[in-house]
């Protein structure tokens, strides 16, 4: 069968008829919540077919080098369970995980089973490596285990970072499960303000459910008054760190913006704007202009120059001129040379913060 997307699997699960159960599923990705929820929905659909008495749950596999640590079972025991007949006949379903990784020893044993599985049973293997463990996901995707699953008629489901629209739909479903409705446009606003991290959105959902109480409906006013604009906060944190030329803080804030899928052109525009404010403050001081007049010449309120006024001493006109050239390069290089936007922004961050 090979790899499918979460959307394809969810469509099959939602269909009243036509769902074809596979002997082995590998569901993996760095979003543990989505991996666990998708594996849980798959398990529920299969249990409805095979019966609750046929279901077995395994939270983790022990470290092969220290098998005495913890209470996880072995792959051999899981395979033996899948190969035996259920209490009232038929196959079994076993859900393993979500695991943070699968040791090479366990992968070899799982691959041996996946290549020739019991067609009446189903093994669901859920793996969610930490977000900073890029080798975990990539290594698993091209592993002999994945190839054995595909060859044996199983399915591989890679959970990739969701789009804003997907998170909005997911949020609406979560509200519905809690007996609360939310219009599509309000769910979209919730995601726009809080980002696409489902952990963060889930927290905002719980907060909103408690906030609306018996109203049983979330309005735009509810979201605007209770949900913090995390995306904007991250943008301001990044600009603030750049203006202070604090490389560590800037890199950390940029990583947050990248995770939230904030468009690079939006970030570059804000950087350019802040550099121009720094230039105006430095030029105003050289000409002995009051800050109110500098702000008026730029057509902005005086408070918007507060950051530039605080950090103007870290800059001079020549440095700002060079920085603006770097911003232009970061804008054009992805189009001219194919340099990824994130790479261009990272390079810009290092150059603006370095001496």
- 2-158 and 231-353: same fold? no
Confidence of residue 9 (pLDDT cuts 50, 70, 90): confident
CATH number of 164-228: 1.10.8.60
CATH topology of domain 2-158: Rossmann fold (3.40.50)
pLDDT (0 to 100) of residue 241:
92
Percent of the chain's residues with pLDDT above 70:
92
Confidence of residue 242 (pLDDT cuts 50, 70, 90): very high
- 244-282 residue pLDDT tens: 999 988 988 888 887 777 778 878 888 998 999 999 999
pLDDT (0 to 100) of residue 136:
46
Give the chain's mean pLDDT: 84
Chain position carrying tokens 């409705």: 181
CA distance 299 to 239: 20
Confidence of residue 284 (pLDDT cuts 50, 70, 90): very high
Break the chain down into helix, strand, coil percent, rounded to 5: 65, 10, 30
pLDDT reading at 306 higher than 60: yes
Phi and psi at 98, nearest 5°, equal -65, 130
* CA-atom Rg of the chain in angstroms: 26
pLDDT reading at 72 higher than 70: no
**Highest mean pLDDT, choosing among 11-15, 84-88, 251-255, 280-284:** 280-284
- 135-189 residue pLDDT tens: 445 467 778 898 999 989 999 998 887 788 888 998 999 999 889 999 998 998 8
Percent of the chain's residues with pLDDT above 90:
26
Q: Where are the domains of the chain?
A: 2-158, 164-228, 231-353
pTM of this structure:
0.55
Average pLDDT over residues 59-74: 63
Phi and psi at 334, nearest 5°, equal -60, -30
324 burial via Cβ count (<10 Å: 0-12, 13-18, 19+): middle
Chain position carrying tokens 């395979």: 79
CATH topology of domain 231-353: Zinc Finger, Delta Prime; domain 3 (1.20.272)
- 91-132 residue pLDDT tens: 889 999 888 888 888 889 999 999 999 999 999 999 987 654
């Amino acid at each position: 069968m090979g790899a499918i997307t979460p959307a394809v699997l969810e469509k099959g699960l939602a269909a009243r008829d036509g769902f074809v159960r596979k002997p082995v599923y590998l569901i993996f990705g760095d979003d543990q919540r989505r991996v666990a929820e998708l594996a849980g929905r798959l398990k529920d659909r299969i249990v409805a077919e095979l019966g609750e008495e046929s279901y077995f749950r395994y939270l983790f596999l022990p470290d092969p080098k220290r098998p005495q640590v913890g209470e996880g079972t072995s792959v051999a025991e899981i395979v033996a369970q899948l190969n035996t007949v259920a209490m009232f006949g038929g196959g079994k379903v076993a859900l393993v995980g979500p695991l943070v990784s699968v040791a090479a020893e366990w992968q070899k044993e799982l691959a041996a089973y996946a290549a020739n599985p019991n067609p009446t049973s189903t093994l669901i293997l859920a793996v969610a490596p930490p977000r900073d463990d890029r080798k975990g996901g990539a290594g698993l995707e091209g592993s002999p285990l994945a190839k054995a699953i595909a060859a044996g008629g199983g399915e591989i489901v890679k959970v990739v970072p969701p789009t804003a629209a997907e998170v909005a739909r997911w949020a609406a479903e979560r509200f519905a499960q809690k007996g609360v409705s939310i219009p599509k446009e309000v769910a979209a606003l919730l995601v726009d303000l809080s980002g696409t991290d489902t952990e963060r959105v889930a927290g905002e959902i719980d907060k909103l459910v408690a906030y609306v109480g018996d109203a049983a409906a979330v309005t735009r006013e509810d979201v605007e008054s209770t949900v913090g604009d995390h995306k904007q906060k991250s943008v301001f944190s990044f600009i603030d760190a750049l203006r202070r030329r604090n490389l560590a803080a800037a890199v950390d804030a940029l990583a947050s913006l990248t995770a939230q899928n904030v468009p690079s052109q939006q970030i570059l525009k804000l950087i350019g704007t802040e550099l121009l404010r720094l230039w105006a403050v430095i030029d105003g001081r050289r000409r002995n202009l009051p800050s109110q007049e500098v702000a008026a010449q730029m057509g902005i309120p005086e408070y918007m120059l507060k950051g530039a006024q605080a950090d103007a001493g870290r800059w001079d006109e020549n440095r700002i001129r060079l920085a603006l050239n770097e911003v232009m390069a970061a804008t054009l290089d992805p189009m001219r040379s194919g340099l990824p936007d994130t790479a261009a922004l990272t390079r810009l961050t290092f150059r603006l913060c370095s001496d």
